[in-house]
Amino acid sequence: MQNIPEERRETGSPRGPASRDGFTLTDAERETLMMELTRLVQKSVRESSWWERRGIDCSILTAAFISLPAGFLLLGSSQPLYFLSGVLIMGVAHAVITVKGTHLASHGALSESPAWADFWAVFFIEVCGSFSARAGVQAHVKMHHAHTNVIGLGDSSTWKIPFLPRSVYLFIAPLAVPIITPIVAISQLKGQSPLQILRTVLCVCLGFFSQYYLLRCVSGLSCSSALVVMLLCRAMFSLPYIHVNIFQHIGLSMFSATHRPKRIYQMTHGVLNLPRNPLLDWTFGHSLINCHVEHHLFPFLSDNMCLKVKPIVSRYLKEKKLPYLEDGYISRLRLFFHKYQELMVFAPPITDLVGIQ
């Protein structure tokens, strides 16, 4: 692991003065933009109830867990329609818990208590998500968020597999995510303490074998059928999961570690929102779909709060003539399909924001 600071707020600056509407922005004015936007968002957060801040998202996660018994029972049916309904329920519930739940837990957005936040991170990331909580938080929060689109740090290069053809990468390889995830988790245990390694192994095994046991005992499936169903349910949303993770950063502005812009410029140039999608909004969460810009600017907010402050953020950025990047899912998929070599194989060019900020 590279020796870098864990968090970064407003350090670093462009190489020279930038202008907007003919006026030169000083460092103080750049700082003021982020501070002013932060005050507006904090005001909205303070005026929000617990239900808005955390309750809605906790209720969605709770609903996913409550739906699991019905899914296990339906999977035991000999009727094809009921069985497929069980697979669908299990797949959707798994996506909500392992994508939305793990993402919120990694940011500590499920509880104001640090102790409970740590507990939920271990529960969702390790037990439910089959990954190391420590490695997940390090890679996502302390690297990707702190160094968004910075070459060699948070440039999303971990999602690239250059030797795979575009059709295989975009439409076939993502189906192997349920198999690859625990393998990658094992590789990330290097350097962790023996207690952390033991906890991760036990938690991952607990999550895997609990689902397997329930499929065998409650659904009455054979050994091979239970494993196939587990793979189907865990892979159901793998395609959009991979797509979303590459669509919203790769192909946008990339920055040098030594000449990165201020945070507000870094996030507005290097992050993109997808449009509202009823299915993905619920399963992945607003912060990963249509409020990704807001999430990168204020990663401590829950999905619902990101949605609530979205009008504030978009209006402010547009008033200040800063980018507010948005594009459609199909549009991004078409772009990545036709420019796969440029976006996913070749090294990205470094963007210099001098004169356009």
Could you report the per-residue pLDDT of 94-107, keeping only the tens digit for each? Answer: 999 999 999 999 99
pLDDT beyond 60 at 340: yes
Under 8 Å between Cβ of 261 and 357: yes
**120 in the Ramachandran plot: left (φ > 0), alpha (ψ -120 to 50) or beta?**
alpha
Stated as kind and residue range, the H or E segment containing 70 is: helix 56-75
Mean of the per-residue pLDDT values of the chain: 88
Q: Is the dihedral of CA 85, 91, 92, 97 positive or negative?
A: positive
pLDDT band at 350 (very low <50, low <70, confident <90, very high): confident
The distance between the two most distant Cα atoms of the chain, rounded to a whole number of Å, is 71
Q: For residue 216, which of 254, 83, 341, 224 has the smallest C-alpha distance? A: 224
DSSP state of 177: H
Under 8 Å between Cβ of 251 and 336: yes
The average pLDDT across 307-316 equals 97
The average pLDDT across 307-326 equals 95
The average pLDDT across 195-203 equals 95
Q: What is the pLDDT of residue 257?
A: 84
Which residue bears the tokens 């356009």? 356
Q: At what angle do helices 177-187 and 223-235 cross, to 10 degrees?
A: 90
pLDDT beyond 90 at 351: no
CA distances in angstroms from 257 to 45, 144, 254, 268, 343, listed in the order given? 32, 13, 10, 17, 20
Q: What is the pLDDT of residue 352?
A: 63
In a 3-state reduction of DSSP, which class is residue 273?
strand
Q: For residue 297, which of 90, 145, 131 has the smallest C-alpha distance? A: 145
pLDDT beyond 50 at 127: yes
pLDDT beyond 60 at 236: yes
Under 8 Å between Cβ of 102 and 129: yes
Q: Please state the pTM of the whole predicted model.
A: 0.87
CA distances in angstroms from 229 to 86, 88, 125, 325, listed in the order given? 10, 11, 21, 38
What are the pLDDT digits (tens) for 14-36? 333 444 433 344 555 556 889 99
**Rounded (10°) CA dihedral 260, 264, 268, 269:** -20
